[in-house]
Structure 1
């Protein structure tokens, strides 16, 4: 059996959807008072969300994540953009690709689909007011 490589269009689409801005860029834009070094691993920093004198947060440049142990806040780069700009995930992707050194092709749009099925307005089988067929017992009925 020979293995075939995926089409280049699919590879390009997947790599575009996986792109995230570097946390050093996002922190530099929103929190200029926090200095991050360009090495992988966790770095201790003062939390940019609340005032403090001792570092209580850590940033992982390799994973594009940060966590504050006082606020119990853990975010990636899109979460920071969403919180600071007050926008949703898709808007944060578009914002990041335009503002930071992102992909030139833009953000993938969700596929068009039909709306999901709604909840029926009538009661479900066996609920109040509905006739139960003979031989079927309701919960709590005596046998007999």
Structure 2
């Protein structure tokens, strides 16, 4: 996956801190909207491998590995929905009333939130999602 980012800080070891605009918040048409990286746009700050020698303040193109990122996205969006429905249906299979079924679904959903928090901590600890600066942004 390729995204536009702004270099916030560079380090002598060939890495840089980048601010990546969340994909849904930016159409990447800077001429039309007045420029990237405004304060109103939600951004994610990450460490990236600076393969092009970019300097602080420059706009660059960063790349992440699609397969791993898509797996994490699928987990974050699908697991809560699946556990919510599974919790409800399991309680219903045991013949519980609708109120208990809803409570079981909510409890299963809460478990999914805990699983997502655990995944987030694991990804941050292992630095599983790596950004790599691949080009200077043109235009």
| Greater share of strand | 2
TM-score if structure 1 supplies the norm length?
0.23
- Structure with the larger RCO, 1 or 2 (CA within 8 Å, 6+ apart): 2
**Which protein shows a greater Rg?**
1
TM-score if structure 2 supplies the norm length?
0.24
| Greater share of helix | 2
